[in-house]
Amino acid sequence: MNEYEEMAEKVMMCAYWNGNIIERSNVISLLEERSEHVLCKISAVRTVLSEYGEITKTPTIHFLYYSLNSKGLEFAKNGCFSGLEKMRVEAEKARKRAFWNSFFRDVALVIISTIIGALMHAL
């Protein structure tokens, strides 16, 4: 895996955590283009993320910085990545919980409105 493929993995993960799914080939070609014009790898990644309308939150930027920096690669894998993975899992749980809460709320509203409608019709 070359450095652009590694960077593409990071960009795709960040995009996924922000709710977007983007194609690897698009990301790699954009990174190759942008890396020629920007001095720092993290700037290239930030540029590509901004083109997809991503909001680069601080934990994401720290993860990218450490994972693109060879000295911090182990830290990124062990520290930041596990923390961000936990955040992603928690966000997914919250999304599912919100769906079921709204589903049961809607069902309850239908039942209540049916009962009220039946009572109004009876009177």
Per-domain residue ranges for the chain? 3-122
Among candidate residues 89, 107, 110, 87, the one with its CA nearest the CA of residue 99: 107
pLDDT digits (tens, 9 = 90+) for 29-85: 666 665 554 445 555 666 666 655 544 444 555 555 555 554 444 444 454 445 556
Residues near 50 by beta carbon (within 8 Å), at least 6 away in sequence: 56
* Residues 11 and 49 sit within 8 Å (Cβ to Cβ): yes
* Model confidence at 105: pLDDT above 80: yes
Whole-number mean pLDDT of the chain? Answer: 65
pTM of the predicted protein model: 0.30
pLDDT for 94: 77
